[in-house]
């Protein structure tokens, strides 16, 4: 399922979703969401009533946005000759994604903009936490390839183990697999070397290394190593630490959400 929000981010999401569909002989379903606008907004002790004219303008803007997204979707899947269909939902984006996403193998959506609207991050977290399915996050500019050289950001956690297991079809398509663990935030569990041994049982060869973080964020170390190795896909467990702790202290997942320049496969 390709979750589309703005014209600016729709291109990378559609490109990544269609690449994935072609690789696995799948189909792409586009989802666009029209927010539900209420005529009464809580504000202070009494609330704020919105004029009908203002509500009508919001509805018109929403209709125009969905029309543009549908046109982009049709043009893209038509040019790529991919089997596809289209869905629209109305209401809170988190609710729409949680409901729809449970019946798709994976959700593809844009990397949130650290300085922009909160909505893309709300949508990403709904797809990650409420669907029971993995997500694939598209950066603003896609690399020429994805899934050819894969970096597994290993920290020994159950979330990362679930990500690796769920991503097994992608790993079987990869030409190179690199498992990188770091000395910050490691859970008590298997090492990177253990993961390589596990993958070998599935006829997958992987290199492995354990790196010192120093004063850097672990997410920055993984992204830097992915760039050094020429990786075009990262596999990571999301929010091994609590989301609140990551927001306050700055965790690896938050850093990757804000800075990844390659697609990232997340599961929780």
Q: Which residues of the chain have pLDDT under 50?
A: 39-47, 242, 244-250
CATH of 2-138, one of 3.20.20.150, 3.40.50.620, 3.40.1080.20, 3.30.70.3040: 3.40.50.620
Closest CA to 164 of 176, 146, 151, 175: 151
Condensed to tens digits (0 to 9), the pLDDT of residues 239-268 reads 655 454 444 334 788 899 999 999 999 998
The model carries a pTM of 0.89
CATH homologous superfamily, domain 149-267: HUPs (3.40.50.620)
User: In the prediction, which pLDDT does 46 show?
Assistant: 47
The 10s digit of each residue's pLDDT in 70-100 is 999 999 999 999 999 999 998 899 999 999 9
Residue pair 204/235 in contact by the 8 Å Cβ criterion: no
φ, ψ (nearest 5 deg) of residue 135: -125, 155
Residue 210 has what pLDDT?
96
Query: For the chain, which residues make up each domain, given as ranges?
Result: 2-138, 149-267
Q: Please tell me if the domain spanning 2-138 has the same topology as the one spanning 149-267.
A: yes
């Amino acid at each position: 399922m390709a979750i589309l929000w703005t014209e600016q981010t729709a291109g990378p999401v559609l490109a990544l979703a269609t690449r994935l569909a072609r690789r696995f002989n799948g189909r792409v379903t586009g989802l666009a969401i029209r927010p539900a606008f209420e005529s009464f907004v809580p504000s202070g002790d009494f609330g704020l009533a919105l004029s009908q004219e203002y509500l009508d303008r919001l509805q018109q803007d929403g209709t125009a946005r969905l029309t543009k997204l549908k046109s982009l979707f049709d043009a893209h899947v038509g040019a790529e000759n991919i089997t596809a269909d289209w869905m629209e939902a109305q209401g809170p984006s988190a609710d729409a994604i949680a409901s729809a996403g449970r019946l798709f193998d994976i959700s593809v959506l844009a990397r949130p903009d650290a300085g922009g609207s909160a909505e893309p991050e709300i949508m990403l977290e709904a797809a990650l936490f409420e669907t029971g399915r993995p997500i694939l996050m598209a950066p603003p500019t896609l690399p020429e390839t994805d899934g050819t050289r894969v970096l597994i950001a290993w920290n020994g956690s159950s979330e990362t183990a679930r990500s690796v297991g769920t991503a097994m079809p992608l790993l079987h398509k990869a030409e190179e697999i690199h498992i990188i663990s770091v000395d910050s935030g490691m859970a008590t569990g298997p090492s990177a070397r253990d993961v390589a041994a596990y993958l070998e049982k599935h006829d997958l060869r992987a290199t492995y290394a354990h790196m010192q973080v120093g004063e850097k964020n672990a997410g920055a170390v993984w992204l830097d190593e992915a760039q050094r190795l020429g990786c075009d896909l990262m596999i990571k467990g999301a929010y091994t630490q609590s989301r609140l702790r990551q927001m306050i202290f700055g965790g690896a997942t938050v850093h990757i959400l804000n800075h990844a320049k390659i697609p990232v496969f997340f599961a929780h």
